[in-house]
Amino acid sequence: MLLLAVAGAAHGLTVTPIGPFCPFRSAACAENGPLGQAMGTLTQTKMPRFAAEMSRIQLEMQTGGAPDPSRVRVLADDLLEAEQEWRVMLTRMKMATDFQSREYFKMTSVWAERQGENLESIGIMMRWQAENMRAFANNEPPRPPPPGIDLAKLAEQQQRSGQQSMMAQISAASAVDSSPFTGNEAAFESPVVREEYEKLCRDHAGMIKLGESFGTFDAAGKIAFLDALEAVEERWDTFFARFALLGAINPDFEQQTSNFLESMGMPAGTFREVLAEAHSEMKREAEAAALAGA
């Protein structure tokens, strides 16, 4: 998931169709699947709508206006609802039998930790923000920061890295719905290249399907699955490198994936590191479970 292919000095790092850019989705993570629907509603509808309304209120305050308390109260309710859905979604991803769901959770966790946050603190901050908005709407004093949350340190980390909070990044992230290839590229006129591509797609789709039972595998099975998936990702690296050198990757795909990474504040090289760390943690968890059961 989220693997990056080195495509030569002229092209730098090219994102391959893996992770959030993967056209092959498990039943749980498919657009019409339970997690897919929950994730889409939260990240593509509710959080962007909240962010837009929040920006309007902040602009009013900066220009000397006073926000309508009733609007702020509704916004606070919306934020609390989004936080509850965020918490439920993360729990379902963490506990899912499906590998792709667990992988998304693990990468989200790793990326949050790299930014000085964690998934629990994000929820706490969302609830605290909503409580303060309600206090404002009710003409009450601001609520004190939650225990264990250092607001000054968090603000310093975000300012130093030039990044927004993780929830702001998620709200700003744009969907990727284009294909890396149109199918009309000259290279596909070669039967050998087309067969290689079709076999790679079949193998990758098969891994995603097999991963729907990941949670039922024993430790050795989980580690073997991760090794096999990483081998598929390496094949994407090789395949993409050749097409990138020819300038034959769909420009729409390159632009959309670039926009996604930029909105997340995640450099391309970091993207690969986050993937590797997520997979390593999943292997360590499998090994620890095996030792505990021994």
Q: Give the pLDDT band (50/70/90) at residue 8.
A: very low
- Among 254, 249, 233, smallest CA distance to 5 is for 233
- For the stretch 178-235, pLDDT in tens is 888 888 899 999 999 999 999 999 999 999 999 999 999 999 999 999 999 999 999 9
pLDDT of residue 233: 92
Q: What is the DSSP letter of 214?
A: G
Let me know: does 180 contact 236? Beta carbons within 8 Å.
no
pLDDT at 170: 60
**41 shares its domain with 157:** yes
pLDDT tens profile 236-280? 999 999 888 888 898 888 888 888 888 888 887 888 889 889 999
Residues 93 and 12 in one domain: no
Average pLDDT across the chain, whole number: 82
Contact (Cβ atoms closer than 8 angstroms) between residue 135 and residue 141: yes
Could you tell me if 68 and 86 lie in one domain? yes
Strand ranges (DSSP E) for the chain?
4-6, 13-15
Q: Summarize pLDDT for 118-140 with one digit per residue, the tens.
A: 888 888 888 888 899 999 999 99
Mean pLDDT, residues 64-74 taken together:
86
Whether 114 and 39 share a structural domain = yes
| Same domain flag for 165 and 184 | no
**Tokens found for residue 154:** 């968090």
Indicate if 15 and 136 belong to the same structural domain.
no
In this prediction, residue 110 has a pLDDT band, given cuts at 50, 70 and 90, of very high
The predicted model gives 148-167 an average pLDDT of 59
- Please state the φ and ψ torsions of residue 6, each to the nearest 5 degrees: -80, 120
Please check the confidence at residue 156 and state whether its pLDDT lies above 90: no
Span 137-146, pLDDT tens digits: 999 999 988 8
Structure tokens, 1: 């998931």
Domain check: are 83 and 120 in the same one? Answer: yes
Range of the domain at 129: 34-172
Counted domains in the chain: 2
Q: Are residues 99 and 229 in the same domain?
A: no
